[in-house]
Amino acid sequence: MLIRIAKTFKQALFPTRCLVCGSFFHFAQHKICDLKPRATDENSSNIAQEFIEKPVLTSAQGNYCSGNIPKVFEKSMTPFLCPNCTSGFLPVESPQCSRCGMMFKSRQGEDHVCGECLDSPKRFRIARSTGIYKYTLMAVIHCFKYKGKIQLARPLGTLLFTAFINFWDKMSIDLIVPVPLHIKKLRMRGFNPSFLLVKDWVRILELSSGRLPDIQVDINVLARKKWTEPQTGLGRKERLVNIKNAFNISDGSKITGKKILLVDDVYTTGATVNECAKVLLKGGAGHVDVLTLARSM
């Protein structure tokens, strides 16, 4: 009780500043998923339980189920964003490409394979994202990646996990691989955003008390051997050339026959994840799917 009063008093005297627009605001205290494996952690347990009991789509179906992704974004980002900016989150919705996840401009019809995927088949099976890379989500990702706001890793990781349990059957993945950074870029930035997004997933899975499959997160399977220029600002052809032969497998025995989920922050043209998928499949992976925080439209 005293702690709650103290927090309320602190909020009254020192309102929170929105990471996106910079305005001050007071937020209603929500219990956000504490990813430590404790029996008292009701929110994390509920997420794990939902994964077991709630019907989820298999990746082969390719259909979209928005589930509670917008609600999870709103709740998890409440301590960081003002209500106006929070409402700027735009989920990816059907109709969309059943392969790469691109949302079609027309809001009529069903999911189907887009023209680009028909002309240039992807190495991965499917790609899915939580939201559109615009407005609030873009600004939040920029704060996370370029402004060192690593406190956003937990809420964004929870959002990404929600997408995972919405889009994939619980037995269709057995290895999670974050897209790696070149060692030079890792030293410059100090962290790999893709890894921070998934590093607590194992703790969520542990809360299921063994009722979920043993999915591992491995940051050492895939390595970025070639320094590449930032993909931002490059066209599709330039991106393909820039990223070609940039990755290699450090230990092929770890991926032989594995059903891999490749995780990155933003899907733009798909050049990076497609190159990663090509290398993983060549190294012996059973199949590769892709999950990103955002999808560029």
Q: Look at the chain and report how many structural domains it folds into.
A: 1
Q: How does pLDDT run across 80-92, given as a tens digit for each residue? A: 999 999 999 999 9
Give the pLDDT score at 235: 76
Lowest mean pLDDT among 11-20, 78-87, 172-181: 11-20
What is the three-state SS of 209-273?
CCCCCCCEECCCCEEECCCCCCCCCCCHHHHHHHHCCCEEECCHHHCCCCEEEEEEEEECCCHHH
Q: Residue 15: inside a domain, yes or no?
A: no
- CATH code of residue 150: 3.40.50.2020
Assigned domain for 13 exists: no
pTM: 0.83
Q: How confident is the model at residue 28 (pLDDT cuts 50, 70, 90)?
A: low
Provide the mean pLDDT of the chain: 83
User: Within a domain: residue 243?
Assistant: yes
Residue 3 confidence class, pLDDT cut points 50, 70, 90: low
Q: Work out the average pLDDT over 150-167.
A: 93
Q: How far apart are CA 104 and CA 63, in angstroms?
A: 14
Is residue 99 in a domain?
yes
Report, as an integer, the average pLDDT of 105-124: 94
Q: pLDDT tens across 33-71, in order?
A: 433 333 334 444 454 444 444 433 333 333 333 458 999
In a domain, 120, yes or no: yes
Residue 236 structural domain: 44-295
At residue 169, the pLDDT reads: 85
Q: Is residue 193 predicted with pLDDT exceeding 70?
A: yes
Which is more confident, 37 or 270? 270
Residue 283 lies in a domain: yes
* pLDDT for 62: 36
CB 155 within 8 A of CB 77: yes
109 in a structural domain: yes
Specify if 194 maps to a domain: yes
Residue 65's pLDDT is 39
* pLDDT confidence bin for 293, thresholds 50/70/90: very high
Lowest average pLDDT, out of 144-153, 162-171, 197-206, goes to: 197-206
pLDDT band at residue 30 using 50, 70 and 90 as cut-offs? very low
Cα(56)–Cα(82) distance, rounded to whole angstroms? 32
Mean pLDDT check: name the lowest of 22-26, 194-198, 206-210, 289-293: 206-210
First-to-last CA distance in the chain? 47
